[in-house]
């Protein structure tokens, strides 16, 4: 698949099926500005419409200090209410496009993730973090509140009471505390972060892509349903895989004691 050349994102194909995406505004700690919101929306929408050979994405930041410092408040300084709300609607489209993207996305927090930066990571499927990363939703200290699904995704990750503590106090936590709370899947040494994230991405990409996408949908949408309704959704997703070439290939490969060759068909 061919992507446009973005101003605020760097795309690096890694092998046949992996895509490394870097937030690329290191001079402002990769803060989200209007252009980055537009480009993230475009990227996730393109992957959702036709991912081509891409089977898994790793999202990280450029530099060693920050994954993303949140919204660019210097850009926002002096904005009218109308312009602020219009900009935020653009950010909303980016968050939604990421959440509904069928391709798995792993956040690799190479440094601090504050505000909308942490919310962007929480919209990914799961999070690896460098040991030196700090995580926070400090919006209440600036007269705001999280507006990038933070009040929805954080309690789903850490529970209601811990989410309230972090959001209402605005205090930052370290990667190890985030791991203990269930916000972060794995804490990595900074030099090993991308290696470990890409290795996990490769494990995902080696599996049947249709199976991965159906399972991702079932988990995501099932969490919004009661158990039996969610199970019915799961079985609908499951049955779509029975009559696929990848399912037949997976069974043949198991019987023949070889690695399967999945084609996404």
Q: Kindly list the catalytic residues.
A: 119, 139
Find the angle CA(152)-CA(158)-CA(159) to the nearest 5 degrees: 75
Give the chain's radius of gyration (CA, Å). Answer: 19
Beta-carbon-side half-sphere exposure of residue 84 (alpha carbons within 13 Å): 12
Q: What does the alpha-carbon distance between residue 119 and residue 103 come to, in Å, rounded to a whole number? A: 18
The dihedral through the CA atoms of 117, 121, 122, 128 has a sign that is negative
Q: What does the alpha-carbon distance between residue 58 and residue 19 come to, in Å, rounded to a whole number? A: 6
Is 174 strand, coil or helix? Answer: strand
Q: Per the structure block, which two tokens stand in for 47?
A: 């992957």
Q: What does the alpha-carbon distance between residue 24 and residue 26 come to, in Å, rounded to a whole number? A: 6
Q: Per the structure block, which two tokens stand in for 242?
A: 């029975």
Q: What does the alpha-carbon distance between residue 179 and residue 36 come to, in Å, rounded to a whole number? A: 28
Q: What does the alpha-carbon distance between residue 138 and residue 171 come to, in Å, rounded to a whole number? A: 7
Beta bridge partners of 68: 113
């Amino acid at each position: 698949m061919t992507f446009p050349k973005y101003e605020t994102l760097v795309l690096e194909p890694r092998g046949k099926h992996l895509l490394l995406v870097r937030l690329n505004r290191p001079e402002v700690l990769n803060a989200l500005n209007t252009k980055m919101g537009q480009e993230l929306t475009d990227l996730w929408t393109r992957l959702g419409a036709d991912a081509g050979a891409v089977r898994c994405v790793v999202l990280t930041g450029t530099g060693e200090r920050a994954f993303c410092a949140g919204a660019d408040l210097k850009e926002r300084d002096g904005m009218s209410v109308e312009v602020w709300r219009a900009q935020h609607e653009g950010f909303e489209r980016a968050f939604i496009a990421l959440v509904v993207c069928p391709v798995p996305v792993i956040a690799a927090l190479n440094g601090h993730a504050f505000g909308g930066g942490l919310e962007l990571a929480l919209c990914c499927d799961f999070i690896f973090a460098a040991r030196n990363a700090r995580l926070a939703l400090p919006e209440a200290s600036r007269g705001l509140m999280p507006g990038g699904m933070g009040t929805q995704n954080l309690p789903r990750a850490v529970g209601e009471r811990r989410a309230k503590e972090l959001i209402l106090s605005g205090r930052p936590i370290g990667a190890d505390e985030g791991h203990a709370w269930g916000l972060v899947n794995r804490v990595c040494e900074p030099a090993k972060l991308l290696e470990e994230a890409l290795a996990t991405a490769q494990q995902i990409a080696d599996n049947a892509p249709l199976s991965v996408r159906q399972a991702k949908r079932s988990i995501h949408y099932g969490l919004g349903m009661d158990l039996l309704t969610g199970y019915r959704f799961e079985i609908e997703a499951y049955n779509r895989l029975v009559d696929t070439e990848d399912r037949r290939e997976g069974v043949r490969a198991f019987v023949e004691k070889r690695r399967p060759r999945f084609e996404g068909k």
